[in-house]
Amino acid sequence: MCGRFVSSSSPADLAAYFAAEAPADADVEPRYNVAPTNDVFVVHADGGVRCLDRFHWGLVPSWAKDPKVGNRMINARSETLAGKGAFKPAFRKRRAIVPADGFYEWKATSGSRRKQPYFIHRPDDEPFAFAGLWEVWRGPDRDGSETLRSTTIITTAANESMAAVHDRMPVILPASAWDEWLDPTNDDIETLGRLLVPAPAHLTVMHPVGLDVGNVRNQGPQLIERVDPEPGGSATTGETAGAEP
Q: What is the pLDDT of residues 143-167, one digit of tens each?
A: 666 799 999 999 999 999 999 999 9
Q: Is 2 one of the annotated active-site residues of the chain?
A: yes
Does residue 86 form part of some domain? yes
Catalytic-role residue among 21, 79, 105, 146: 105
For 93, which DSSP code? Answer: H
Work out the mean pLDDT of the chain and round it to a whole number.
90
| Domains contained in the chain, number | 1
Does residue 70 form part of some domain? yes
Does residue 232 carry a pLDDT above 60? no
Does residue 72 carry a pLDDT above 80? yes
Do 182 and 48 touch, CB atoms closer than 8 A? Answer: no
Alpha helices in 138-182 (DSSP H): 178-182
Does residue 236 form part of some domain? no
**Tens digit of each residue's pLDDT (9 = 90 or more) over 53-67:** 999 999 999 999 999
Does residue 116 form part of some domain? no
Signed CA dihedral, 12, 18, 24, 25: sign only: negative
Does residue 208 form part of some domain? no
Does residue 237 carry a pLDDT above 70? no
d(CA 117, CA 1): 14
Catalytic-role residue among 2, 51, 190, 239: 2
Please state, as a whole number, how many other Cβ atoms lie within 10 Å of the Cβ of residue 197.
14
Domain hosting residue 176, numbered range: 5-103+127-200
Does residue 97 form part of some domain? yes
DSSP 63-86: T-SSGGGGGG-SEEEGGGGGG-TT
Residue 26: its pLDDT value, please? 65
Does residue 46 form part of some domain? yes
CATH number of the domain enclosing 154: 3.90.1680.10
Residue 240: its pLDDT value, please? 27
- Largest Cα separation within the chain, whole Å, is 55
Does residue 244 carry a pLDDT above 70? no
Does residue 229 form part of some domain? no
Do 99 and 189 touch, CB atoms closer than 8 A? Answer: no
